[in-house]
């Protein structure tokens, strides 16, 4: 096949198998490793180890490996937004912005400057080009599907993209890696923040944002139940970490975060997993990023996914003149968190997505 294919190599098994599959197709393949976070003394950032794993895989495959850092771009375009959202008491998802701004933004452009005509990654998603435009589809493996994280990538970015693993299940990828004898075949999947790694989250945030303790209030009775460590450490629907045991006169059920009152620095909680305050029947978003560049209409039916691995729910979507969405859900959904992303689907196709601004609690 003509043209250079560059594979974004993370040091993990997914990108390794993606590169191996493309080599077997007879493509000219190069690897590209991004180190986008400064190393820290605590050792939570595994960039150096991951680079060595990527280097060994590329040596096994007989392909060159390039290394680049977009640390300043990552901090300016992703991490500053991440901190601002937490400071505002919201729950951000940096992976969505990281894909648009870094992996399929500056990194894709860098790959193009290296001479690539194709930029491939180990994402579990698919691209359909059957009607002359790039459409983003869910990956075949429903448990690993990553189309939600790609909701803000536009069609022009997808035109150059390739997802070799989109039609595979994770078990097949692991088996393929073992058969090829790739050194990363049993390497554990990373679950940390994009490029930052896995680390004690409260300790990490405290290095950038001041903790502001305040009262925990029972939403129903108005009683003060305790003190929270800082609103940035909690998200809507959260149970663990509240430090609230059984209360005299209470139901004995577990406590959950219902919402955060930023103005008075209060954490509002309710008892019981089925409490109505935990369920939203509608949501409002910021301006929607549409993969095709425009929505399917000003008012339309779609399935909406409010976070990764949450089942998509049928919805009515209405857009205002600024491109913001008002979404009426067919069934109330638990734990709709401002700051997270809502992704819009029609069948297997991801149409785009937007940051959730607010939710209307179930009546």
Burial 191-208 (b: 16+ CB within 10 A, else e): eebbbbbeeeeeebbeee
194 catalytic? Reply is: yes
Query: Which tokens sit at 91?
Result: 């729950």
- H/E/C letters for each residue in the chain? CCCEEEEECCCCHHHHHHHHHHHHCCCEEEEEEECCCCCCCCCCCCHHHHHHHHHHHHHHHCCCEEEECCHHHHHHHHHHHHHHHHHCCCCCCHHHHHHHHHHHHHHHHHHHHCCEEEEECCCCEEEECCCCCCEEEECCCCCCCCHHHHCCCCHHHHHCEECCCCCCCHHHHHHHHHHHCCCCCCCCCCCCECCCECCCHHHHHHCCCCCCCEEEEECCCCCEEEEECCHHHCCCCCCCCCCCCCCCCCCCCCEEEEEEEHHHCEEEEEECCCCHHHEEEEEEEEECEECCCCCCCCEEEEEEECCCCCCCEEEEEEECCCCEEEEEEEEEEECCCECEEEEEEECCEEEEEEEEEEEEECC
Q: Which of 45, 58, 98, 350 is catalytic?
A: 98
Q: Which of 58, 107, 194, 350 is catalytic?
A: 194
Query: Which tokens sit at 292?
Result: 């095709």
23 catalytic? Reply is: no
Give Cβ neighbours of residue 310 (< 8 Å, ≥ 6 apart).
Answer: 333
CA distance 335 to 359: 9
Catalytic machinery residues: 98, 194
């Amino acid at each position: 096949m003509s043209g250079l294919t560059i594979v974004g190599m993370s040091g993990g098994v997914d990108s390794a198998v993606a590169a191996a599959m493309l080599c077997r197709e007879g493509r000219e393949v190069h690897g590209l490793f991004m180190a986008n976070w400064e190393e820290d003394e605590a050792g939570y950032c595994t960039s150096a180890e991951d680079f060595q794993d990527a280097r060994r895989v590329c040596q096994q495959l007989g392909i060159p490996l390039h290394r680049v850092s977009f640390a300043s771009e990552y901090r300016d375009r992703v991490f500053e937004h991440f901190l601002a959202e937490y400071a505002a008491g919201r729950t951000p998802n940096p992976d969505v912005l990281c894909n648009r701004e870094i992996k399929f933004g500056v990194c894709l452009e860098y790959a193009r400057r290296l001479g690539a005509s194709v930029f491939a990654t180990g994402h579990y998603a698919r691209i359909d080009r059957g009607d002359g435009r790039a459409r983003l589809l869910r990956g075949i493996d429903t448990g690993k599907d990553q189309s939600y994280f790609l909701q803000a990538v536009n069609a022009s970015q997808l035109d150059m993209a390739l997802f070799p693993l989109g039609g595979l299940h994770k078990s097949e990828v692991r088996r393929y890696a073992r058969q090829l004898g790739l050194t990363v075949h049993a390497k554990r999947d990373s679950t940390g923040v994009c490029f930052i790694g896995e680390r004690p989250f409260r300790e990490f945030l405290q290095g950038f944002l001041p903790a502001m303790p305040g009262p925990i209030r029972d939403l129903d009775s108005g009683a003060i139940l305790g003190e929270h460590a800082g609103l940035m450490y909690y998200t809507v629907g959260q149970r663990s970490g509240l430090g609230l045991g059984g209360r005299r006169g209470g139901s004995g059920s577990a406590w959950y975060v219902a919402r955060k009152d930023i103005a008075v620095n209060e954490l509002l909680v309710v008892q019981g997993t089925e409490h109505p305050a935990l369920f939203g029947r509608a949501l409002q978003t910021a301006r929607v990023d549409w993969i095709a560049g425009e929505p399917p209409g000003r008012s339309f039916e779609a399935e909406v996914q409010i976070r990764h691995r949450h089942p998509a729910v049928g919805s009515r979507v209405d857009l205002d003149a600024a491109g913001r969405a008002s979404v009426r859900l067919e069934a109330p959904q638990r734990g709709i968190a401002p700051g997270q992303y809502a992704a819009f689907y029609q069948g297997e196709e991801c149409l785009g997505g937007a940051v959730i601004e607010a939710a209307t609690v179930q009546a």
